[in-house]
Structure 1
Amino acid sequence: MKRSVIKILLVILLISFPVIIHQTYRWLTALPDQITIAAGHPEGRYYSMAVQLKGLLEEQLGTKVNIQQTKGSIENLELLRSGKADLGFYQPGAEYVLEGFQVEPEKARAPRQPETDRICFIANLYSQVVHVIVPVDSEIKKLADLKGYRIALGEQGSGDLAASLPLLRHAQISLDDITPTYLSYEEIEEQFNQNRLDAAIMTVGIEAPVLHELLDTGKYRILEIPFIDALTRKETYFYKYEIPAGMFRRVEPVVPVQDHRTVACGAHLLSRESVPEDLISGVTTIILHQDFLRQMQLNELFAQGHSFARDNQGFPVHAGADHVYNPELKPFLNSEFVEATEGMRSFIVSMLIASYLLFRWIQKRREKAKEHKLDRYIRQLMSIENKQMKLDGNNESDGLSLQSLLDEVTALRQDTLGQFSAHELNEDRATDVFLEMCHALSDKINAKLLGWKIDRLGEKINKP
């Protein structure tokens, strides 16, 4: 009865096991109900891209998306590290350039704690181009002329500021040579209109709304950047970039008047390593889709594909994004599921092994506690042996007794063999021992019986 119950329970367990595994897998790899994107300033391209990405993620993945307005790359990175954002836009090199740079020392950020959740790279989206903008009638004709003027360098912690500082170093202009201001895009437009600003260094995609709003008026022009080869050699995050003539204004005054040589850096989308792989795979797939590329005018990404998307990473690639870039390397089981269930699997295997060993121990204890099949036969054999010890074969009556004992041993051996199957005889060492005892006792009795027969034969010969 007990064995039948155990078998039924094992069958039920085996049937339900795949269902349990499937439900556990779905639970562990389920997409989060809500995520946050650290998106920069509303007038920048980061923000407009976040808005577009929000709509597609909510439509295709069913995940609610919050967009958080920030001051730029450094704040985005801090939000990611603190776990307050799941996706964030970042200008490569910004953290390195701005490390320790503060307008007001008393507002310096607290030292960064060691990372327990790594920042990971998803994709390079477009080129953020450096624009040095001045009023069209300004006396500033070249980069070196910025000395002595009020210049907007970008907000604290922004990619604009991270690009402005190396550009000023390249032009051998220190912050003491100018009047630096740290303004948002909205404040730049406002102070330009009020004639309170002489120039602005803006590092944005050439499709950024704020750039077109300024330059399409015909009131502003862009300065050339000299010695670009030297700049890109010293500042590894910069690369050469050319803005086509008429990009921002195609009627007089044309902006720029001719093809304009400048520098640019990437625009990266980052995440944390702990963000689910399926979510990041979904984000990467959306970003690389032709419809998204056309809507956001990501022409470089559209033309160059994965090679541009993976350019200048600076951070390890998130496993979810890597599944999209290298689909042939995607494992059969989601790595998050494997990691999440590793402890559970180890526990289950350990419990199964422990249960098996306990079962075997109990089984052996029971077997030892029970009388073995051979115990009765061994006792009978010992009784026969005790009887033969009392007979030495010297008496005339010993012959019949010894022959009787020998027959008893033979009958006992045959009876015993009839109680065991061939498998049991092969597996049970006790049967071998019993048979050896039988043979040994038979040899003893035969020896005494032979001695008795010799004595009887001698008596007959010696009879007169």
Structure 2
Amino acid sequence: MRRTILKILVVVLLISLPVILHQTYRWMTALPDRITIAAGHPEGRYYGVAEQLKAQLQEQLPIEVEILQTEGSLENMKLLRSGKADLGFYQPGAEYVLIERKPGPAAPRQAGPVEADEICFIANLFSQAVHVVVPLDSEVRNVNDLKGKRVAIGQPGSGDLAASLPLLEHLQLDLDEIRPAYLSYLEIEEEFGENKLDAAIVTVGVEAPLLQKLLQTGQYRLLEIPYIGALTRRETQFYPYEIPAGMYSRKQRVVPERNLPTVACGALLLTRESVSDDLITEVTTQVLHQNFSRQVHLNELSAKGQTFARENQGFPMHDGADHVYNPELKPFMNSEFVEATEGMRSFIVSILIAGYLLFHWFQKRREKSKEHRLDSYIRQLVEIENQQMKFDGNKLQDGPALIALLDDVTSLRQHTLKQFSAHELNEDRATDVFLEMCHALSDKINAKLLGWKIDRLGEKIKDD
């Protein structure tokens, strides 16, 4: 009865195991109910891209997306590292410029343990070109004339400031040689309108609302940055870039009047290593879709696709993004599930092995505690041997008794052999022992019979 119940339990467990594993897999790889995107100022390019990404994700996935208004790249990175944001936009080199080089008012990073949750790359979205904007009637004719002027260089912690500081260093202008203004985009627009600002260094995509609004008026112009090759050699986050003539205005005044050489840096979408692979795979898929890049005017991404998206990484690629860029390398099972269940799988395997060994030990012990099938036959054989010891073959009546005992041995041996299969006879050492005992007893009885026959033959010869 117990064995039957045990078999039923094992069958039920084997049937339930796939269902349990499936539900566990779904639970461990399920998408979060809510995610947060660290963007930037509402008037900035990051924020507009974040709004479109939010709309796409909420349309495709059963999740809620929240956009955080921030001061820019440095705060975005801080929110990512602290786990308060799942996605964030970042300008390459911002942390190094604003923290390691410690310029301007940016606060140094607090010392502390290195985060185990690594920042990972998803995609490069667009180029952020460096623009030096001045009023049309300004006496500033080139960048060398910025000395002593009030220049907007971006808010503390912003990508604008992270680009302005290396540019000023390239122009060999110290902060105390100009009047730096740490302004937001709205404040730049207001101070230009109030004639309180002489110039602004703005690092944004060419489709940014601020530039479109300012430069389409025809009341502003762009200055050329000299010695771009030297700048990109010294500052590796920059690469050469050219703003096409008429990009911003083609009516009252063409802005810029000709193709304008400048430098640019990437706009990266980042995440944390611990964020769900499936979520990041979906985010990457949406970002790389042509509809997305066209709706937010990511022209470089739309034209070059994955080639552009994978540029300027600077961070290890997230596994979920890698599944999109290299689908042939995508594992059969979710890597998070595999890693998370590694200890569980080892424990289950150990339990199974221990159970198997324990079962075999119990079986052997039970077999040892039970009487062997040969035990009764061996007892009968011993009884026959004890009986034959009563006859030495010297008496006349010993012969028939020994013959009967020999027949008993033969019958016992034949009956025993019928109880075992050929495989059992081959595997069970006890049967070999039993047969050897039978042969030995038969030989012993036959020897006594031979002696008895010789005595009878001698008596017959003597009588004759």
Q: Specify the TM-score bucket, using the shorter chain as the normaliser.
A: over 0.9
- How many angstroms apart in 2 are the aligned matches of 1:52 and 1:259? 30
Q: Residue 92 of structure 1 aligns with which residue? A: 92
1:231 alignment partner in structure 2: 231
Amino acid corresponding to residue 240 of structure 1 in structure 2: P
| Whole-angstrom CA distance in 1 between matches of 2:367 and 2:453 | 46
> Which is worse superposed, 196-205 or 435-444?
435-444
Answer whether contact 1:192 1:198 (CA < 8 A) is retained. yes
> TM-score, normalising length from structure 1?
0.93
Residue type of the alignment partner of 2:445 = I
Q: Is the 8 A contact 1:286 1:292 kept in 2?
A: yes
The correspondence of residues 185-264 of structure 1 with structure 2, limited to 5 A, is 185-264=185-264
**Offset of 1:104 from its aligned partner?**
4.7
C-alpha displacement of 1:259:
0.9
Q: Deviations 1:89-124 (Å, cap 9, x if unpaired)?
A: 01112122222315458x433125312111111111
Counterparts of 1:53 and 1:131 in 2: how far apart (Å)? Answer: 26
Q: Distance in 2 between matches of 1:102 and 1:303?
A: 37
CA deviation digits over 1:154-210, x for unaligned, max 9?
122211111112111211222232222322212222222233222211110000111
Q: How do residues 321-336 of structure 1 correspond to structure 2 at under 5 angstroms?
A: 321-336=321-336
Aligned to 1:270: 270
Alignment-mate amino acid for residue 278 of structure 2: D
Q: Is contact 1:102-1:156 (8 Å) kept?
A: no
Task: Determine the C-alpha separation between the residues in 2 that align with 1:454 and 1:180.
Answer: 136
Tell me: CA distance 1:141–1:393, structure 2 relative to 1, closer, same or farther (3 Å).
Answer: farther
Structure 1 residues 398 and 137: alpha-carbon distance in aligned structure 2, compared to 1, 3 A threshold = same
Partner AA of 2:255 in structure 1: V
Q: SS at 1:402's partner residue?
A: helix
1:346 aligned partner: 346
SS at match of 2:18: helix
**Aligned residue identity for 1:41:** H
Once residues 67 and 52 of structure 1 are traced to their aligned partners in structure 2, the CA distance between those partners, rounded to angstroms, is 11
Q: Secondary structure at the match of 1:202?
A: strand
Structure 2 counterpart SS, 1:40: coil
> Is the Cα–Cα contact under 8 Å of residues 99 and 109 in structure 2 kept in the other structure?
no
User: For 2:458 and 2:94, how far apart are their aligned partners in 1?
Assistant: 120
| Residue 72 of structure 2 corresponds to residue 72 of structure 1 | yes
Counterparts of 1:284-363 in structure 2, within 5 Å, are 284-363=284-363
**8 Å contact from structure 1 (residues 125, 267) kept in 2:** yes
SS at match of 1:408: helix
**Alpha carbons of structure 1 residues 293 and 104: separation in structure 2 relative to 1, 3 Å:** closer
Query: Percent identity over the alignment?
Result: 71
Cα 1:450–1:36, aligned 2, differ >3 Å: closer, same or farther? same
1:38-57 counterparts in 2 under 5 A? 38-57=38-57
For 2:433, the equivalent position in structure 1 comes to 433
Distance change >3 Å, CA 180–CA 390, structure 1 → 2: farther
The residue that corresponds to 1:365 in the other structure is 365
Residues in 2 aligned to 1:344 and 1:49: alpha-carbon distance in whole angstroms: 41
Shift of 1:385: 2.6
CA distance in 2, matches of 1:321, 1:219: 43
Give the C-alpha shift of residue 460 in structure 1: 5.0
* Aligned-CA RMSD value: 2.1
* Structure 1 residue 35, shift from structure 2 partner: 0.3
Kept in 1: contact 2:130–2:201 (CA 8 A): yes
What is the rounded CA distance, in whole Å, between the counterparts of 2:133 and 2:394 in structure 1?
134
Distance 1:64 1:451, change over 3 A: same
Shift of 1:3: 4.0
Amino acid at match of 1:244: P
| Structure 2, gaps ≥5 residues long | none
Q: Does structure 1 residue 384 correspond to structure 2 residue 384?
A: yes
Task: State whether structure 2 residue 177 is matched by structure 1 residue 160.
Answer: no
Moved more, 337-346 or 89-98: 337-346
TM-score, L = length of structure 2: 0.93
Partner-residue secondary structure (3-state), 2:254: coil
Q: Is the 8 A contact 1:88 1:271 kept in 2?
A: yes
Which range moves more in the overlay, 451-460 or 64-73?
451-460
Matched, 1:60 2:56: no
**Cα pair distance change 1:461/1:98, threshold 3 Å:** farther
Verify the 8 A CA contact 1:102 1:108 in the aligned structure 2: no
Name the counterpart of 2:453. Answer: 453
Deviation at 1:251, TM superposition (A): 2.2
Alpha-carbon separation, structure 1, partners of 2:390 and 2:117 = 88
Q: Indicate the SS of the match to 1:133.
A: strand
Give the superposition deviation at 1:139.
2.2
SS at match of 1:99: helix
Counterpart position of 1:124:
124
Shift of 1:288: 1.2
- Unaligned runs of 5+ residues in structure 1 are none
2:427 alignment partner AA: E
Deviates more, 1:221-230 or 1:429-438: 429-438
The equivalent residue for 2:414 is 414
Deviation at 1:396, TM superposition (A): 4.9
**1:407-440 per-position Cα deviation (integer Å, ceiling 9, x unaligned):** 2211211121222233433332222221122122
Which residue number corresponds to residue 171 of structure 2?
Answer: 171
Most deviating of 271-280 and 112-121: 112-121
Q: Secondary structure at the match of 1:201?
A: strand
Aligned residues: 463
Q: Which moved more, 1:182-191 or 1:37-46?
A: 182-191
Contact (CA 8 Å) 2:105, 2:156: kept in 1 or not?
A: no
State how far apart, in whole Å, the 2-side matches of 1:94 and 1:437 are. Answer: 93
Structure 1 residue 452 displacement after superposition: 3.8
TM-superposed deviation, 1:31: 0.9
Q: One-letter code of the match for 1:368?
A: K
Distance 1:393 1:150 in 2: 137
